[in-house]
Amino acid sequence: MVLVPVCVVFASFLSPDSEIWQHLITTTLPGLLTNTLWLSLGVILGTSFLGVSLAWLTSVYTFPGSRFFSWALFLPLAIPAYVIAFVALGMFDYTGPVQTSLRHWFNSDLLWFPDIRSGPGVAVVMTLAFYPYVYLLSRDAFLTQGKRLLEVAQSLGFNRQQGFFRVVLPMARPWIVAGVMLALMETLADFGAVSIFNYDTFTTAIYKTWFGMFSLSTASQLASLLILIVLVIILTEQRFRLRMRFSESRKSTRVERIPLTGWKAAAATSFAGAVLFFAFVLPVVQLGLWAMHALEIGVDGRYPEFAWHSILLSVLAALITCLVAAMLAYSVRIHSDRYTRFSVRLATIGYALPGAVLAVGIFIPMAWLDNLLSDWIEAITGAETGLLIQGTLVVMLAAYMTRFLAVSYFPLESALQRVTRSIDEAAAGFGVTGWRMLKTIYFPILKSSLLTAATLVFVDVMKEMPITLMTRPFDWDTLAVRIFSLTSEGEWEQAAIPALTLILTGLIPIIFLVRHSET
């Protein structure tokens, strides 16, 4: 199911448009590669720094507000990147209130103020939007091994700083890399934030080629190049990690955290507070101000229906995707040959596909299958059946599973690193095999990662717009579709209401995850 839309996209190479490709190569393709490269590097560095440092602070140390920040730093997961991008432009652009106020106070043109409409500006916005992926997985690693490994390092003569970089950080590498890979693929597939900043990347080129040059085949070819880039990155990282093992020799136990005092405690609180403010508080406050103005006009009574559609789709997609991801991760564990590893990695590249292109890649074969079934039934019964698959949730769920399989696979694959072969052998020696082994051995170890994977898929499906917009049944609107409809008409204040509803709904699984993350 994952390879079908990918093959449909790659099949576009059979009919290339030489004139359009010559135009792209001579005018835009070098710039696209450069912009995409620098944006990816910026997001990798930014999310790694914020995610790992915040995860280490909240899981190992205590400081004023540490218990609050330990769960509050998850909250930006519920906000789409394009919302943070729009709020950032509205606040910090030349005509925004920040620069306007500073020009009034200093009576100058503020030539020193950084331009928010730039590559670094986009990288900062996307870092604030995607750092929770790294924070979530890194914190899972640090909670199970953090301080105990630090004490082991100190017993070997390292100080805390050396122990973190020489022992703790290398042991947490699978979790950190998994989070960074998710953030990177989200960045490569993003369209909303980069289009708001008018920052050309592969995704904006795909949309412009599709809707501007009216060449779906060329757009699909650009998408296939994007898939190849991501596949090379994934396989390269997998090759470096192939011969490494990250297991623990005994069961981890919860230990007392290290208290911070003085300026270190103040710095930790200020750092965590600043990240939370710019990534969550500021966008929500701005949306709240817009929503207050919108409430004076009136509220659409269909919002509960939109919310129910969003929740239903997210729950079903999370269950299906996590089930498939668990089977893939366990398959690699049982059969670690090159073919299996390559096949599984290939199955997770759908996350790099732009949502609209993936929707087309799913819709075309589904439409062919639908017509085939209709013709077959009509030939047998003589009755016209109409559409059987198109216009149903089946197409949407298939597209969601293809798009977000990597989101659930990477946490589960990292967690399986904890289960050594000796554990399997010891369980088999006691007669624990098959489903009983999965229930008594694997599930308790994977429980936290399963919750993490389900949460990531749930929240991502809640925020997904292009796939839902293009494959949904008739009159089956969600909160994301409603936001798109209003913003495309310039009704930003009206769009604030479904945006806030989307954020509040997305907070439910995040709070549930936080309540179970340390149990």
What are the residue ranges spanned by the domains of the chain? 17-244+263-297, 299-519
Q: Count the neighbouring beta carbons within 10 Å of the beta carbon of residue 239.
A: 10
Q: How far is CA 76 from CA 130, 258, 303, 451, 490, in A?
A: 8, 26, 22, 18, 24
3-state secondary structure of 278: helix
Euclidean distance between CA atoms 169 and 146, whole angstroms: 9
Q: Give per-residue pLDDT as tens, 222-261.
A: 777 777 777 777 677 666 665 555 555 444 445 577 888 8
CATH topology match: 17-244+263-297 vs 299-519: yes
What pLDDT sits at residue 429?
Answer: 81
- What is the phi/psi pair of residue 508, to 5°? -60, -55
Residues in the chain with pLDDT values less than 70: 13-17, 20, 110-112, 145-148, 210-217, 234, 237-255, 298-300, 352, 356, 383-391, 418, 487-490, 492, 510, 512-519
Euclidean distance between CA atoms 29 and 33, whole angstroms: 6
What pLDDT sits at residue 52?
Answer: 93
DSSP string, 176-224: HHHHHHHHHHHHHH--HHHHHTT---HHHHHHHHHHTS--HHHHHHHHH
What pLDDT sits at residue 63?
Answer: 92
Euclidean distance between CA atoms 75 and 50, whole angstroms: 14
Q: Give per-residue pLDDT as tens, 354-394.
A: 776 777 778 778 777 877 887 787 777 776 666 666 667 88
Place of tokens 């509050």: 72
Q: How far is CA 305 from CA 252, 297, 301, 468, 510, in A?
A: 44, 20, 8, 15, 22
What pLDDT sits at residue 352?
Answer: 66
Residues paired with 259 in a beta bridge: 62
What pLDDT sits at residue 251?
Answer: 44
The CATH number for 17-244+263-297, chosen from 1.10.3720.10, 1.10.30.50, 1.20.150.20, 3.40.630.30, is: 1.10.3720.10
What pLDDT sits at residue 49?
Answer: 95
What pLDDT sits at residue 224?
Answer: 73
CATH code assigned to 299-519: 1.10.3720.10
What pLDDT sits at residue 237?
Answer: 67
3-state secondary structure of 40: helix
